[in-house]
Structure 1
Amino acid sequence: MQATPVPSLQSSLRVLRVDASARVDDSVTRRLADLMLEILGERVPDLSVVRREAAGMPFVDDAWVGANSTDPEARDSAQRWALAKSDELVSEVMAADVLVIATPIYNFGVPASLKAWVDQVARARLTFRDTEYGPEGLLTGKKAYVLVASGGTEVGSDIDFATPWLEFVLGFLGITDVEVIAADRGMLRGDSARQNAAEHVADVLERDWPALAEAS
């Protein structure tokens, strides 16, 4: 997979951080996201971060589907209201240069809240479009870091349905440069899982922003 080129003299970066862990104070994925943004902040002079909690994300319902299926110019006030949250979330994704998605693996997949976020941002004509050759993602030129933690599921194994799905759905939206960083099997590996993931974060950012690291 070809990495999204990062300009060596880039001085600003817009990051969208999405947290999906139900835990707040003792979340492995939140700590990894904190570390990633701390390192990026040291390397990018003008770093702006939008934080989005997946918890409490609304689910797609009948009103949402009807509004989304209606031509934008023909939507009434109720339909615009039904899509207001989705419009806000789509705007955040479209504005971001980099996505940092921090998620645990629950029961072999992603949390329902993260699935709900994806459903809100996967919008025909906005983040993807249908063509005669099939769907085409419109969120091209972005980088995504997926920070994953699990208690027993090994990332990349036959029982990991979370990271392959995330990579697929991001690619469906046009984001094909996806880096997965895992602190997996934490119940077995303990602190070593978290430490290895933290080292992976540092190594990946050194690789992706080397010129900025040297200049800072």
Structure 2
Amino acid sequence: MKDINTILRLDVSPRKTDSISRRLTQKAIDSMSAKGPVKIINRDLSEGLNFVNEGWIGANFTPAEARDEAQHQALIESDTLVSELEQADTLLIGTPIYNFSIPASLKSWIDMVARVGKTFAYTETGPQGLLKNKRAIVLVASGGTQLGSEIDFATPYLRHALGFIGISDVTFIAADALAQQAEAKIQLAFEAIESL
């Protein structure tokens, strides 16, 4: 086992202040740092990522040795995001739920890191995730959507998408349905984080 836990911290909320999901991720960082040495890779998805487009698709499906300069340029951001994920022992995602699902910036990150030959492979028995022995902790803030309810399309999708690239050890902690008793629910989430 490694001595240092490398944590890739993804903050998704566009709110830099008063963001509950950012409070949760910071609490998790503080808690994990207190338990042993950590290295943090910070990625603020609210600052924007490119979306998959035709040039990206063409570059992605061209063998690396055959790519021209424009294709290499098209994949630089994606390559960086994949590298950050490969380095991490723990993926820490702090996200709000928007309109019953994840924000577009988090979906864009997933699109950028789900790369055949890098994070998953096609096999005779179907797709196989390549990112093994990693853990994901997903900290969710929601005003009206309760996790696990029939209107929660965020957490089943995230569990499946992470599993698709090989990350099957996924823990969800929620400060959800915050329209009522917000501070009490945040405190319960903090306690769950401490118990990780």
Q: Check if 1:98 corresponds to 2:90.
A: yes
Q: Which sections of structure 2, spanning at least 5 residues, go unmatched?
A: none
Aligned with residue 49 of structure 1, among 33, 40, 53: 40
Quick one: percent identity of the two aligned structures?
49
Give the alignment's Cα RMSD to 1 decimal. Answer: 0.8
Q: Which residue of 2 aligns with 1:128?
A: 120
Q: Which residue of 2 aligns with 1:12?
A: 4
Q: Which residue of 1 aligns with 2:53?
A: 61
2: distance between equivalents of 1:192 and 1:60?
40
**CA deviation string 1:103-132 (max 9, x = no partner):** 000000000000000000000000000001
The amino acid across from 1:57 in the alignment is: L
Q: Which sections of structure 1, spanning at least 5 residues, go unmatched?
A: 1-6, 205-216
Give the TM-score, by structure 1 length: 0.89
2: distance between equivalents of 1:189 and 1:181?
17
2: distance between equivalents of 1:184 and 1:127?
31
Aligned-pair CA distance for 1:12: 0.8
Q: Check if 1:36 corresponds to 2:28.
A: yes
Helix, strand or coil at the partner of 1:165:
helix
Aligned with residue 13 of structure 2, among 21, 24, 32: 21
The amino acid across from 1:173 in the alignment is: I
Helix, strand or coil at the partner of 1:199:
helix
2: distance between equivalents of 1:30 and 1:175?
22
**CA deviation string 1:145-201 (max 9, x = no partner):** 000000000101010000110000000000000000000000122111111100110
The amino acid across from 2:42 in the alignment is: R
2: distance between equivalents of 1:13 and 1:191?
30
Runs of 4+ in 1 over 2 A off after TM superposition: none
2: distance between equivalents of 1:71 and 1:144?
30
1: distance between equivalents of 2:137 and 2:9?
10
Aligned-pair CA distance for 1:72: 0.8
Helix, strand or coil at the partner of 1:141:
coil
1: distance between equivalents of 2:182 and 2:24?
15
Number of residue pairs the alignment of both structures matches = 195
Aligned with residue 74 of structure 2, among 53, 71, 82: 82
